[in-house]
């Protein structure tokens, strides 16, 4: 059979095959984007983060009673150290007297807290935290009236924080022994705050009187 005749007879079949190829090829060549996206999401969720990944497990929060123990210990040590420093470097008698009370009372409170911690198998901090250390170092560079002023200013601020800390533990603490310790010591701390505020006011009045005398002396 001649080629033209063969081509004429095969023409319809060739055209049908080409048409079938046209419709079938995209079905197999192009993947289902929706299925692919879903599979990718599932794979990403199932794959654990690598060592260099930024995803980290959430850290366990500190027990509130343990936090109270640590903060009370840091504050108590700072009160004793600042009081000892004031006994050496303060100039005003009321400041020295206040400092003596702080050393005595807070040393006693620190010992009580240490005993409670021991019964619970808890280790207390052996040194002040950085914030209290900086304050003590700053005080150590001062002398006389300047020391008196800064020391009493610090005592007022610190005792406000300490009273708030002990009030919270006495009201909301979970450990009965720590809760009792906070409630028992709270009246003394409130008294310390009142003493600090009154001593600071006394220093301010005294300083104002001295300044007035100096101004009168210079005008004569």
pLDDT digits (tens, 9 = 90+) for 149-195: 999 999 999 999 999 999 999 999 999 999 999 999 999 999 999 99
SS3 220: coil
pLDDT of 142 strictly over 70:
yes
Per DSSP, helices labelled H in the chain are 3-29, 33-46, 64-89, 93-119, 130-140, 144-172, 176-219
Asked whether the beta carbons of 117 and 69 are under 8 A apart, the reply is yes
pLDDT (mean) for 137-151:
96
pLDDT digits (tens, 9 = 90+) for 12-60: 544 444 433 434 344 344 445 444 444 444 344 444 444 444 444 444 5
If 0-12 CB within 10 Å is exposed, 13-18 middle and 19+ buried, where does residue 40 land? exposed
Domain 64-211 CATH assignment equals 1.20.1260.10: yes
Whole-structure pTM value: 0.68
Q: DSSP letter at 127?
A: S
């Amino acid at each position: 059979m001649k080629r033209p005749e063969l081509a004429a007879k095969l023409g319809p079949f060739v055209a049908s095959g080409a048409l079938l190829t046209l419709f079938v090829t995209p079905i197999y060549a192009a993947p289902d984007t929706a299925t692919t996206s879903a599979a990718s999401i599932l794979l990403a969720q199932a794959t654990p983060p690598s060592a260099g990944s930024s995803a980290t497990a959430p850290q366990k929060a500190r027990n509130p009673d343990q936090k109270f123990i640590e903060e009370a210990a840091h504050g108590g040590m700072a009160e004793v150290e600042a009081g000892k420093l004031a006994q050496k470097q303060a100039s005003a008698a009321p400041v020295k007297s206040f400092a003596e009370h702080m050393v005595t009372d807070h040393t006693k409170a620190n010992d009580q807290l240490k005993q409670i911690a021991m019964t619970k198998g808890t280790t207390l901090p052996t040194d002040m935290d950085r914030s209290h250390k900086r304050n003590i170092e700053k005080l150590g560079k001062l002398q006389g009236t300047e020391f008196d002023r800064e020391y009493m200013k610090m005592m007022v601020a610190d005792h406000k924080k300490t009273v708030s800390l002990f009030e919270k533990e006495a009201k909301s603490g979970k450990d009965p022994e720590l809760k009792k310790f906070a409630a028992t010591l709270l009246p003394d701390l409130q008294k310390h705050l009142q003493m600090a505020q009154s001593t600071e006011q006394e220093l301010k009045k005294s300083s104002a009187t001295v300044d007035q005398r100096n101004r009168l002396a210079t005008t004569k």
